[in-house]
Amino acid sequence: MKHFRAIKKYFWKYRVRLVIGIFFVFLSNYFSVLTPQITGFVIDFVQRSLNVPGYQPRNNTPGYDPLVIRLTEYMGTGYSLTKVVMLSGLIILLLALLRGIFLFLMRQTIIVMSRHIEYDQKNEIYRHYQQLDMAFYKQNSTGDLMNRITEDVSRVRMFTGPAIMYLVNLVAVISLAVYFMLKRDATLTGFVLAPLPILAVTIYFVNNLIHRKSEKIQEALSDLTTNAQESYSGIRVIKSFVQEKAMLGFFVKNSEHYRNSAIGLAKVEAIYFPSINLLIGLSTLFTIMIGGLYFIAGSHNMDISTIVEFVMYINMLTFPVSAIGLTASMIQRAAASQKRINEFLDTHPAINTEKPAGTSPVGGNIRFENVRFEYPDTGVTAMADFNLDIRKGEKVAVIGRTGSGKTTLAHLLLRMYDPVSGRILVDGTDLRQLPVRALREQVSYVPQDGFLFSDTVSNNIAFGFESANQQAVEHAATLACVHREILSFSEGYSTMIGERGVTLSGGQKQRVSIARALLKDPSIVIFDDCLSAVDAKTEKEITTNLNTYLDGKTAIIITHRIFSLLEFDRIIVLDHGRIAEQGSHRELLAANGYYAGLYARQQSVDQE
């Protein structure tokens, strides 16, 4: 139950609904326990009126509620048998109606409260997801993240709603029914409650088993969700490599694991729930058998009305007590799910986004001072004693072999990660002293694998800029050399491009991502090999457009293409996280190093 401490704040937030709901639970059960007493009175009245042989009238009404006592005293004087039976029937009907009304109100308060908690908890988890750093997302699968914010939260809702409602209802019914049974006949009540210790021991041992199996089910479901999500996202690769059958095999394997885990829990519950009903049946058996023997022997002042009342009380207890198994199962499943949710909520972002700082705009002067960085998930050193100065308005190209640290440079500048040692300065201020939001609002970053949403082309370009007008969107698309192609689509800028831009080519997706960055009009622009899927002619057009657009902006262009580097102020060659070469195009050709070799190879390919 310690895992539920994280949701105490929600119960406090909705405490009024919870208290009112509990009040309605007790009211509904109060009207319910009056019915056996009215029934017992009618049975006594009928026996007395018809002079049933062996009937011994009682001088009082032990175990009756004061309200029932007043009603019976009123009906027992001057009313005929028929009128008493009819009036009692109407009273029982009225009690049932009142119980139904308060049951409705009970659900409207407690169940609605659980929906509010579900809403708040999903928002809290999503908000926390947004604050976590890139390392977290590299270490956790998308399917697992989705499962915790959907399936796990739904299971917690079953605890905050139905489970609490059933639990409070159980306490209310047992409290009221046992109270009136004890007042009626303490000895018979003892026999009725005899199976309860067995029930308590059963619940204790089975609950632990249900909790363990519920954890395994949720883990299996996360694996299954991840497998399905990856299959849908990578459907192009799966089909191109003819791996449909293999992927189906993986899915079936995960599905079987989930099925077997679920069946294991179902087997436990299949024994658990009937066992509870068996114990309830024993209570009914003891009531009729012991009560009947007392009645035959004429002891304990036992009469038929008492036996009938006890049977009715037990019937009232049947559903709440039988729901113990269901309630316990819901609580244990919710505990397992809340434990999984807490694991993520207790994860703190490595990037501290709450540092106070001034609100002065980012100018564009960048400095890396003795920066060392290792990726937390792999431990690979991506930068070592890295130093670099970029002046405001300078256009810098960055090239190098795969794994040389090009993308790492962009990630560090965006504060996706913080360096292990050293520091990065923007306009003389350490990035760690700048608000992350203020920094990223002044930096446009276009990754190689630009992500597009399942939305219109226009909305994808204007992502993050709800106030952007259509003219600005089209201007950005024109600079990215994708405007004419968008107009050729069936619905132009209103064309839906599918999940992750699946309906667009690789080059079109990259250019739409570039248009999105250009619309932002930032101080610093970072292009991370985002023209890799664009042909040389289109690349030249985009580069020409960018020469004017980038005036006055600090630009860092990460690329493998020499052609696009000719008009940059400086070219930097990275190798194993260090600067191997830097200078202008002519200077690097004269140095006859890595850059010169790459240029020669590309020239040879272009000539072919």
Work out the average pLDDT over 288-301.
80
Residue type, 417: Y
Give the residue range(s) of CATH 3.40.50.300 domains in the chain. 366-442+522-607, 452-520
Is 60 exceeded by the pLDDT of residue 59? no
Write the CATH number of the domain with boundaries 366-442+522-607.
3.40.50.300
Q: Name beta bridge partners: 429.
A: 426
Per mean pLDDT, which of 94-108, 207-221, 329-343 is the most reliable?
Answer: 94-108
pLDDT tens digit string along 380-435? 888 888 999 999 989 898 998 888 888 889 889 988 888 989 999 998 888 888 88
Per mean pLDDT, which of 114-128, 241-255, 274-288, 585-599 is the most reliable?
Answer: 114-128
Instruction: Report pLDDT for 147.
Output: 85
pLDDT tens digit string along 461-484? 888 787 778 898 898 889 888 888
In which band, very low, low, confident or very high, does the pLDDT at 135 lie, cut at 50, 70 and 90? confident
Work out the average pLDDT over 74-97.
83
Instruction: Report pLDDT for 387.
Output: 92
C-alpha distances out from residue 504 to 423, 470, 485, 540, Å: 40, 21, 10, 21
CATH architecture of 2-345: Up-down Bundle (1.20)
Work out the average pLDDT over 343-367.
73
DSSP string, 359-391: -PPP---EEEEEEEEE-TTT--EEEEEEEEEE-
Q: Nearest Cα to 191, choosing from 300, 308, 288?
A: 288
Q: Which CATH superfamily is domain 452-520 in?
A: P-loop containing nucleotide triphosphate hydrolases (3.40.50.300)
pLDDT tens digit string along 250-265? 888 888 888 888 888 8
Rounded-to-10 torsion of CA 204, 210, 216, 222: -120
* Contact present, 337 and 155 (Cβ < 8 Å): yes
In which band, very low, low, confident or very high, does the pLDDT at 55 lie, cut at 50, 70 and 90? low
CA gap 200, 324 in Å, rounded: 10
Strands 395-400 and 570-575: parallel
Work out the average pLDDT over 359-382.
82
Answer left, alpha or beta for residue 222, where phi above 0 means left and psi between -120 and 50 means alpha.
alpha
Whole-model pTM: value is 0.76
Distance of CA 498 to the CA centre of its chain: 24
* Helix (H) / strand (E) containing 583: strand 578-583
pLDDT tens digit string along 209-253? 777 887 788 788 888 887 887 777 677 677 766 778 888 888 888
In which band, very low, low, confident or very high, does the pLDDT at 63 lie, cut at 50, 70 and 90? low
Q: Name beta bridge partners: 570.
A: 396
Strands across the sheet containing 578-583: 443-446, 524-528, 554-558, 395-400, 570-575, 578-583
Residue 572 φ then ψ, to 5°:
-115, 130
* Angle (CA) 202 206 209, round 5°: 160
C-alpha distances out from residue 282 to 36, 166, 300, 353, Å: 20, 22, 21, 62
Is 60 exceeded by the pLDDT of residue 540? yes
